[in-house]
């Protein structure tokens, strides 16, 4: 907490110092007062480096009034328990031996904290004695938050990439263990990878929050031209239930399989078959369960498969 402002001898001295300062360095003082960079000057000749000048940006950054700042020791904003490394760097700069960038945790008048990048420069008189310190402050809070957000996004992206690679591994393994014909295997792998890719596009449009079941179905069936040319042969009944991303990805591939099968051997393999897709929600002890039905009618006569596969 800030000490209650009082007009001590120290502060009066400080004010006199500022007045002199203003007289001698007029235009520089005006620019220091008005710049958007928060800055203070301290009196190096007194113990604790009391602040003798603070610009408007500094007051805006910290929430203090000017008379609450003037006369305070330079370190009055330092948050208790701040890193000793940062404190050592401040001390090194005050000793005239700056030691790298200073990032230090400060508090505002309302006790909220902010991470500041601080630059401390000694001001010397004609006899090379340090008479003041000039310090500038940049609020790094937003920068740090943005950095943390970016790191979280990178981690999430990495997680997604690794899971996608494992999914691709699953697709390739599954096809290769059941399909001896290389050309058929290639087509099956491609078909599934493109289905995965279209589901990714859908999820990206939804910011990876999830996707509606109708949208997943439409996205999966789009390349088969079913929605447009065979609309009368496909009926869809059910609400656009929201599913989390991973479930949506799996459903996209499942619909791709069902549609591939329907086009090759099922209801879409002739000119009159129809497909009815419907779903409903049933409450169970473990939560809601969606029951999905894919029903093909009037397709070609079913021939028992030679091999069992994924489709």
Partner 1 sequence: MDRFLVGRRVLVVEDEVLILMMIEEMLADLGCESVASASMAGKAVALVENDTFDVAMLDMNLNGRSSLAVAQALAAHSVPFVFSTGNSIDEVWDGFADRPVLRKPFRFEELAGSLSRVLAR
Sites of contact with partner 1 (CB under 8 A): 155, 158-163, 165-171, 173-174, 177, 244, 246-247, 249-250, 253, 286-287
Q: Which residue's CB is nearer to partner 1, number 22 or number 160?
A: 160
Tokens of 83: 């890193």
Residue appearing with tokens 């940062």? 86
Q: Is 307 helix (H, G, I), strand (E, B) or coil?
A: coil
Q: Which residue's CB is nearer to partner 1, number 63 or number 309?
A: 309
Q: Which residue's CB is nearer to partner 1, number 163 or number 278?
A: 163
Tokens of 221: 């069936």
Q: Which residue's CB is nearer to partner 1, number 16 or number 166?
A: 166
CB of 154 to partner 1, least distance (A): 10
Q: List % helix, strand, coil for the chain (3-state, nearest 5).
A: 50, 25, 30
CB of 166 to partner 1, least distance (A): 4
Contact 78, 84 (CB under 8 A): no
Distance of CA 109 to the CA centre of its chain: 29
Q: Which residue's CB is nearer to partner 1, number 229 or number 284?
A: 284
Contact 226, 177 (CB under 8 A): no
Contact 290, 241 (CB under 8 A): yes
Q: Is 93 helix (H, G, I), strand (E, B) or coil?
A: helix
CB of 285 to partner 1, least distance (A): 10
Residue 261 φ/ψ region, left for φ over 0, alpha for ψ in the -120 to 50 degree band, beta for the rest: alpha
Q: Which residue's CB is nearer to partner 1, number 124 or number 246?
A: 246
Distance CA 40, CA 59 (A): 10
CB of 239 to partner 1, least distance (A): 21
CB of 212 to partner 1, least distance (A): 17
Hey, how many other C-beta atoms are within 10 angstroms of the C-beta on 241?
Answer: 17
Contact 190, 172 (CB under 8 A): no
CB of 169 to partner 1, least distance (A): 5
CB of 308 to partner 1, least distance (A): 13
Q: Which residue's CB is nearer to partner 1, number 96 or number 244?
A: 244
């Amino acid at each position: 907490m800030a000490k209650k402002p009082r007009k001590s001898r120290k502060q009066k001295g400080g004010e006199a110092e500022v007045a002199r300062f203003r007289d001698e360095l007029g235009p520089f003082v005006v620019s220091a007062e008005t710049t958007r960079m928060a800055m203070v000057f301290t009196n190096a000749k007194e113990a604790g480096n009391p602040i003798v000048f603070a610009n408007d940006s500094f007051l805006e950054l910290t929430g203090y009034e000017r008379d609450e700042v003037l006369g305070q020791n330079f370190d009055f904003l330092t948050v208790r328990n701040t890193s000793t490394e940062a404190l050592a760097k401040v001390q090194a700069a005050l000793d005239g031996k700056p030691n790298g960038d200073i990032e230090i945790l400060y508090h505002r008048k309302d006790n909220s904290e902010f991470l500041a990048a601080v630059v401390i420069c000694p001001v010397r008189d004609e006899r090379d004695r340090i008479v003041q310190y000039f310090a500038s402050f940049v609020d790094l809070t937003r920068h740090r938050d943005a950095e943390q957000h970016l790191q979280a996004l990178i981690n999430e992206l990495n997680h997604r990439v690794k899971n996608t690679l494992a999914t691709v591994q699953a697709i390739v393994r599954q096809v290769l263990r059941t399909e001896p014909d290389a050309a058929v295997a290639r087509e099956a792998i491609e078909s599934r990878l493109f289905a995965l890719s279209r589901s990714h596009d859908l999820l990206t449009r939804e910011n990876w929050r999830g996707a509606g079941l109708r949208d997943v179905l439409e996205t999966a069936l789009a390349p088969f031209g079913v929605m447009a040319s065979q609309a009368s042969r496909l009926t869809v009944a059910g609400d656009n239930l929201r599913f989390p991303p991973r479930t949506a990805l799996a459903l996209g591939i499942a619909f791709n399989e069902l549609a591939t099968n329907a086009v090759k051997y099922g209801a879409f393999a002739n000119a009159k078959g129809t497909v009815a897709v419907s779903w409903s929600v049933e409450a169970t002890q473990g939560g809601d369960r969606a029951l999905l039905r894919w029903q093909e009618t009037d397709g070609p006569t079913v021939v028992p498969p030679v091999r069992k596969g994924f489709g």
